[in-house]
Amino acid sequence: MVAKPRISFEYFPPKTEAGREKLLNETTPALNELNPEFFSVTYGAGGTTRDTTLGVVSAIGATGIDVAPHLSFGGDDEETVAALLETYRERGIKRLVALRGDMPSGMGAAMQLVHANDLVGFIRERTGDHFEIEVAAYPEIHPESRSYDSDIQFLRKKLDAGANSAITQYFYNVEAYFYYLDQCAAAGIDKPIYAGIMPITNYQNLARFSRNCGAEIPRWICQRMESYGDDLDSVRKFGLEVVTQLCQTLIDSGAPGIHFYTMNQVEPTREIYNNLGL
Ligand code: FAD
């Protein structure tokens, strides 16, 4: 029998008060009924959402739900990051997603980005084993990587620095994920690498975003999506079919878990989840 995969749900911090209310009072209770292991909340490039991420994480955490803030140094110094870690610890947060992050748009090269392995080491140095730490992994390889193997070596470095597991960038090529797992295992990585899954709702936005983050949308999916044009209902239905099949293959083939990039929406994730009979 295939073991039930770990399920987690990712949010971004809403920009408006109405968005925040909806996320806390409607979206979270609805998604929490699906029994995820935890929720996570992203961190704006350069620490631009430091307060809103903290606010959303604290509000969800206060209801007793396990929630993980994403964190990067951004442009902050060690004491600012240490203070944020302490606040999370005081508020009962036990899990973090540790990242290098990207340069905020308009910053040029003005900011020195701190690699995720250094952040993981810093968190362990300052807070010991308090936090369960997740890091990012890239089955289709991070766009700035020198090579396929170096990206795996740097994943290993983050895990060796004390991270407990990794969550991948989203992908639609399931072979890329399983090949990556094999290569990671061959490189001595024995910690779980959970599959990041992005439901397809708005194809144009997804295509634009994917070009920047190095996630490939296979040609056959692009062709099909483009043939639907403005017929959003068909886009939604086809997206649901493709991503359900992707998740089913992952589960059948023993992926340790699935992290849904929910985009703060209930329906796409819940429909996939129900289709899978989880
Ligand atoms: P790193 O692990 O530091 O890697 C970045 C690049 O540098 C890679 O090419 C790697 O091969 C190389 N590298 C790694 N370590 C070293 C080293 N020690 N020396 C030299 N080169 C090195 N972005 C946000 O802004 N906010 C978020 O909340 C957020 N959440 C994410 C969640 C997940 C699950 C994923 C997969 C990505 C997320 N991102 C987020 C995007 C992420 O910040 C970007 O992909 C960023 O460009 C890399 O971050 P990283 O932590 O993977 O960096």
pLDDT digits (tens, 9 = 90+) for 198-243: 999 899 999 999 988 989 999 999 999 999 999 999 999 999 999 9
Is 117 touching ligand 1 by the criterion CB < 6 Å?
Answer: yes
Per-residue pLDDT band at 90 (split at 50, 70, 90):
very high
Please report whether residue 212 resides in a domain.
yes
- Whether the pLDDT of residue 1 is over 70: the answer is no
Total count of domains within the chain: 1
Of 20-24, 60-64, 102-106, where does mean pLDDT reach its minimum? 102-106
CATH number at residue 104: 3.20.20.220
Residue 41 Cβ inside 6 Å of ligand 1? The answer reads no
Structural tokens at position 125: 């140095």
Does residue 1 lie within any of the structural domains? no
Q: Is residue 103 part of a domain?
A: yes
* Percentage of residues in the chain having pLDDT higher than 70: 98
Q: Can you give the pLDDT at residue 103?
A: 85
The verdict on residue 82 lying in a domain is yes
Mean pLDDT for 58-87 is 97
CA distance 17 to 7: 28
Burial 147-168 (b: 16+ CB within 10 A, else e): eeeebbebbbbbbebbbbbbbb
Confidence (pLDDT) at 108? 65
User: Known catalytic residue: 140?
Assistant: no
Using CA positions, which residue lies closest to atom 30 of ligand 1?
42
For residue 52 and ligand 1, the question of a CB distance below 6 A is answered with: no
Whether residue 235 is contained in a domain is answered as yes
Q: How far apart are CA 249 and CA 99, in angstroms?
A: 28
Output the pLDDT for position 56. Answer: 98
Ligand 1: distance of its center to the CA of 227 in Å? 34
- pLDDT over 70 (residue 109): no
In this prediction, residues 25-45 reach a mean pLDDT of: 97
Q: Which domain holds residue 112?
A: 6-275
The burial class, CB within 10 Å (0-12 / 13-18 / 19+), for 111 is: middle
DSSP helix/strand/coil, 38: strand
Domain-embedded: residue 191: yes
> Is the CB–ligand 1 distance for residue 166 below 6 Å?
no
Mean pLDDT of 7-17: 98
Mean pLDDT for 139-151 is 97
With a cut of 70, say whether residue 80 has pLDDT above it: yes
